[in-house]
Amino acid sequence: TKDRNGISQVILHNPRGASARVSLHGGQILSWKTDHGEELLFTSSKAIFKPPTPVRGGIPICFPQFGNHGTLEQHGFARNKIWVIDENPPPLPPSNSNGKAYIDLLLKPSEHDLKIWPHTFEFRLRVGLSADGYLTLTSRIRNINCKPFSFSIAYHTYFSITDISEVRVEGLETLDYLDNLCQRERFTEQGDAITFESEVDRVYLSSSDVAIFDHERKRTFIIRKEGLPDVVVWNPWEKKSKAMADFGDEEYKQMLCVDGAAIEKPITLKPGEEWTGRLELSYLPSS
Ligand code: BG6
């Protein structure tokens, strides 16, 4: 299908009726629904669907830079680009396709991209939806140049939640984090679980799986990851929400970004080398 700006979108369905919608704009997932048709991802009512503006919601991919630490635009250029469908992707282990609906996308740098970031790469993204309704994003990034390059990456996942004040994130306790609200100063998490009562913008370092508990909806999201040591936790809260043109003033209550990412230690690829990172999102449904 195509959106109103003529950009192609691919919809994946599983046999139980769950679905996921992927846009070629940014290779971005814009919707992930349960088999009851409930939306699991947040997209702002003010989102702008016109490239090169990134879309506020779903799962934008931040690459090759996270945030504004570097010479590139905020969160890099991958989320602003039109990706193509990869008709002939190199094989992945069968676990990436068995029992799944999936689509392969590809991003290569344009002439313009090479001027601002002079590294030739191929970024292959496989989005899969399993019979259980799990969403998987497998990224393969290959250096096809003759010199090494380094990058950061984040799957900037906007989870849809009922009320930010009633949400708890587990799996990050005792970890160190970089606080984006304090020039990336390093702190250690002291609490048992993370709860929210003001703006949060952090990069937790070297975590394993993370769970988001949405008490009101009795839903738990589980984030599993491979090759993605860090986890970004972001909620803009009231003041920042008002400052963002493509975000409703009150919408911060219904979203929470928790990203699988590789940020603190950038990934370096030698010529010909490939990196793989995998994110798996699942949920325990409300009963
Ligand atoms: C977060 C950053 O991950 O993304 C924040 O740490 C930023 O600082 C947020 O505000 C949203 O970024 P953007 O570019 O999509 O507005």
Q: Which residues contact 126 (CB under 8 A, 6 or more apart)?
A: 89, 92, 96, 97, 102, 103, 104, 105, 136, 137, 138
Q: Which residues contact 183 (CB under 8 A, 6 or more apart)?
A: none
Q: Is residue 2 in a domain? A: no
- Could you tell me if the CB of 255 is within 6 A of ligand 1? no
With tokens 């400052």, the residue in question is 243
- Could you tell me if the CB of 75 is within 6 A of ligand 1? yes
Q: Which residue has the CA at smallest separation from atom 15 of ligand 1? A: 56
Q: Which residue has the CA at smallest separation from atom 9 of ligand 1? A: 234
Q: Is residue 157 in a domain? A: yes
Atom of ligand 1 nearest to the CA of 236: 10
**Ligand 1 center to residue 91 CA distance, Å?**
34
Candidates 175, 158, 265, 252; CA nearest to 212 is 158
- Could you tell me if the CB of 74 is within 6 A of ligand 1? yes
Atom of ligand 1 nearest to the CA of 240: 10
**Which positions of the chain have pLDDT values less than 70?**
286-287
- Could you tell me if the CB of 67 is within 6 A of ligand 1? yes
Q: Which residue has the CA at smallest separation from atom 6 of ligand 1? A: 201
Domain count, the chain: 1
The CATH number that applies at residue 265 is: 2.70.98.10
**Ligand 1 center to residue 62 CA distance, Å?**
10
The mean of the pLDDT values for the chain is 96
**Ligand 1 center to residue 232 CA distance, Å?**
10
Q: Is residue 4 in a domain? A: no
d(CA 39, CA 162): 12
User: What pLDDT is attached to residue 285?
Assistant: 77
User: Which pLDDT tens digit goes with each residue over 44-96?
Assistant: 999 999 999 999 999 999 999 999 989 999 999 999 999 999 999 999 999 88
Q: Is residue 233 in a domain? A: yes
**Ligand 1 center to residue 109 CA distance, Å?**
23
Q: Is residue 133 in a domain? A: yes
- Could you tell me if the CB of 33 is within 6 A of ligand 1? no
Q: Is residue 42 in a domain? A: yes
Q: Which residue has the CA at smallest separation from atom 2 of ligand 1? A: 67
Which amino acid is present at 73? E
d(CA 117, CA 109): 9
Domain that holds residue 87: 9-284
- Could you tell me if the CB of 158 is within 6 A of ligand 1? no
**Would the ipTM clear 0.95, i.e. be above it?**
yes
- Could you tell me if the CB of 234 is within 6 A of ligand 1? yes
d(CA 284, CA 40): 12
**Ligand 1 center to residue 60 CA distance, Å?**
11
Q: Is residue 41 in a domain? A: yes
**Which residues sit opposite 221 in a β-bridge?**
212, 283
**Ligand 1 center to residue 67 CA distance, Å?**
6
User: What pLDDT is attached to residue 99?
Assistant: 84
Q: Is residue 1 in a domain? A: no
User: What pLDDT is attached to residue 55?
Assistant: 96
